[in-house]
Amino acid sequence: SPDCSFTCHYRCRALVRLDCSGPPDAGDEDDGTEQALEKDTNVDEPSEWEKAELDQAQVEQRIKEYNSQINSNLFMSLNKDGSYTGFIKVQLKLVRPVSVPATKRVPSLQAGRPGPRAQGVKRRTSFYLPKGTVKHLHILSHTRASEVIDALLRKFTVVDNPRKFALFERSEKDEQVYLRKLADEEQPLRLRLLAGPSEKVLSFVLKENETGEVNWDAFTLPELHNFLRILQREEEEHVRRLRHRYARCRQKMQEAL
């Protein structure tokens, strides 16, 4: 696509449906602003409030308070065995393409929109998830972060190894954005209950799990050439944003003079 720079195989073009709103505009600057503010705290241990232990009465009280503060029907419910169920919202912020299995059609990402009726893809197909893709999951209090990742991949029929992805908690404080990677055994719904419904206090993000250097020798020549084109476009976009930022700063200085 000449507008959104979406890239896919020629034979897969008819199978992909994306809402392309046209060339990048001022809305892209928000992403750059957040990237500038975003800080990976890289903290192995949860904060003190996240480590708090609640007894049955405290859990019941927290659930009542949580349900009284939300403006939707995504309530939490206490079970007889002491566990509880509820919803979490996960934003998918993936910068690399994901893969769907052979003979599977590319899943529709728009609610109420039927998937493409073209023939199934005969080979493994890769595509980019649109920016801002969000998924609500109904989970149990003892559902682990690794199980949330598995469920998200199943929802989008992604066949990539789940270890390639990680679930992060995101919080905003003092105009600073903090990210912390959740350990596999952490329980997202428990964190949601402790934090309350505010997305600024706590939200969940699925991102790539950066575990080390990429083994580029494992890719084919067409894939490597495609990665180079993507890198070039990313570099050009970063340069555009930097020039825009410095031009704006220079203009403010000249106005002050």
pTM: 0.61
Q: Tokens standing for 234?
A: 């990313």
CA distances from residue 183 to 6, 15, 44 in whole angstroms, order as listed:
33, 36, 8
Question: How far is Cα 63 from Cα 83, in angstroms, rounded to an integer?
Answer: 11
User: 39-97+123-213 belongs to which CATH class?
Assistant: alpha beta
Query: What residue spans define the domains of the chain?
Result: 39-97+123-213, 217-249
Q: What is the pLDDT of residues 196-252, one digit of tens each?
A: 999 999 999 999 987 666 667 767 888 888 888 888 998 999 999 999 999 999 999
CA distances from residue 169 to 120, 201, 232 in whole angstroms, order as listed:
36, 10, 30
Question: Which residue stretches of the chain have pLDDT < 50?
Answer: 1-3, 22-30, 32-33, 36, 40-42, 44, 104, 111-112, 117-118, 120-122
Q: What is the pLDDT of residues 175-184, one digit of tens each?
A: 888 999 999 9
Question: How far is Cα 24 from Cα 32, in angstroms, rounded to an integer?
Answer: 12
Beta strands in 35-76 (DSSP E): 38-40
- Predicted local distance difference test score (pLDDT) of residue 100: 78
Question: How far is Cα 28 from Cα 187, in angstroms, rounded to an integer?
Answer: 33
